[in-house]
Structure 1
C-alpha cells in the first residue's frame, strides 16, 4: 500500500523548508517501518533550490536567496503552478538508482502523453523534454525541459523527486542556469497546449499513473514488504 498526501495544492502553497521537514519525518517513518511508502504531491511557495553540483555561475546574480539541499542535480526553481512530487519509497535490492529515475521519467511521460504533450527522454539528460520544441536566440531549434528530477536515496528509501511545470510562470528561470543546462529552455503543459492546466488538474493523473506503476511487479522499483534496507546514501541529478 502507498499513501498519497495531496495537501499542498491550490492556495495551500507549502514553504520549501516546511516541505523538507515533512519529507524527512516521513522518510524516517518509512525507514523505521512505522508508515507505508508515501508520495507527497504539492506546490511550493516560490523558491530556488540548489543541489550539490551547482556552480556559483549558475546561481542568481541579483541576491535572490537560494536554499542548498541534499538532493542530486543542480539549481532549479519551485513555485505556484508547478506540481512537485516527493515519492518516499523503499527500493528493491539491489538498488538501481538510475533505474528508479528512468521509472519516474516513464510515469511523467505517460501522464504528459495522455494530456497531448509529447514528452520524451533525451539521451544524456535526466528529466522529461520536448526535443526541438523551442528556438534559440539565433533561430536554431532547442530542446525544452518540462519536468526535472533530482533525488536522494538513504537507507534504501527515496527522497526528493520531480517538479512538473503545469501553469507556472517561466520568468524565474531567467535568473538561473536551470539544472546547469545552457543550451536548452523550459516550458509548461499550459504553454504547450494553449490552455491552462493546473497542478490540481494533473495531480490525480500522476497519482493514478504511480498506482499503476507501483502495482506492476515487472517494472516497479519498490521493494516488497520487510526488505532489509541499504545503509548508503546516493544522490542523482536531473
Structure 2
C-alpha cells in the first residue's frame, strides 16, 4: 500500500465509529460558504452524537477556495474572490460540473488521518476506473487521483482532496471533475502544483460525463471504502514532491 506507514486498522475493517448506514444528502447547487457553515454545524452535532454519519453531495457555483498552506503566489490572477477555508492543502477551484462530496463522519479511535485519505482516494480510483479511466491512480507525495502522462500530455489530476478532522469528525472532502470547465484553473497554481495539469472525466473519455452519472457510483464506492469492503490497494504510478511540505500556514486574507 502506498502510505508512509501501515494503517491502524486492518484493510477489511471499518474506519467509522458507527455501523449505522450512512445518510446521503443530495443538496444540488449550494453556495460554498453556506455549505461550509452547514458542515460546521453538522460536525459539531456529530461530535456530540446528536446525529449519525452523513455525506453531503452537491455542486458549487464557481469559487476559489484557499486551504491553510496556500501561498500568495498561488492566488488567482483574474481578480476573482477567494474563500479562505480551514481545510488542509493549498488553493483550488470549484464549479458546476464538478461532483463534490463532504463526509461528516465520526472516525473510530485511534483516528487515522492517513488511512482516511487513502480510503477516499480508493473510492475515487474505483469509480473512475469503472467508468473507463483505466490507468487512474496515485502519485506518491501528492493527494488526489491522477492520470499518468501520455504522449505530449503531463500527469493530470482528476479529483482533489482536502479535509479537516475535529473531535474525531471529518469535514470537507473530495471533488471529482466530471464535465466542468478548466478555464478557472488557468489563473491559479492549483494545489500548489505547477509541473502537472488538471483534467475531467469528459476530456479523458471523449464524451460528456455528468455529475448525475457519477454520483451513485462514487457514493457506493465511498461507503464500501470506509467500511473496509473496498480495500486500499497500491495504485501508485509515480512519485513527486509534496506541494505542502515545509510550508508555513499563511494568515487568512480579508
TM-score by length of structure 2 reads 0.80
Structure 2 match to 1:122? 139
* Residue 83 of structure 1, aligned match among 99, 103, 111: 99
Stretches of 4+ aligned residues off by more than 3 angstroms? 217-220
CA contact (8 A) 1:134 1:144 kept: no
Q: Quick check: 1:143 aligned with 2:155?
A: yes
| 1:4 correspondence with 2:24 | yes
CA deviations over 1:129-179 (Å, ceiling 9, x no partner): 0011473xxxxx511000000100000000000111000000000010000
Does the 8 Å contact 1:81/1:166 carry over to 2? yes
Equivalent residues of 1:108, 1:206 under 8 A apart: yes
Matched with 1:44 is: 60
Superposed CA RMSD: 1.8
Asked whether the 8 Å contact 1:134–1:185 carries over to 2, the reply is no
Work out whether residues 133 and 144 of structure 1, in 8 Å CA contact, stay in contact via their aligned partners in 2: no
Query: Which structure: greater strand fraction?
Result: 1
Match of 1:216 in 2: 228
Distance 1:24 1:171, change over 3 A: same
Deviations 1:82-128 (A, max 9, x none): 00110111111111111111110000000011001131001111100
Residue 107 of structure 1 corresponds to 123
Does the C-alpha gap of structure 1 residues 217 and 53 become closer, same or farther in structure 2, counting only changes over 3 Å?
Answer: same
Q: CA deviation at 1:212?
A: 2.0
1:169 is aligned to 2:154: no
Residue matched to 2:171 = 159
Please give the secondary structure, in 1, of the residue aligned with 2:60: coil
Which residue does the alignment assign to 1:201? Answer: 213
Tell me how far apart the structure 1 counterparts of residues 182 and 210 of structure 2 sit (CA, whole Å): 14
8 Å contact kept, 1:76–1:178? yes
- 2:203 is aligned with 1:183: no
In 1: Cα distance, 2:65 partner to 2:96 partner: 15
TM-score, scaled relative to structure 1: 0.85
In 2: Cα distance, 1:134 partner to 1:203 partner: 31
CA distance in 1, matches of 2:219, 2:69: 30
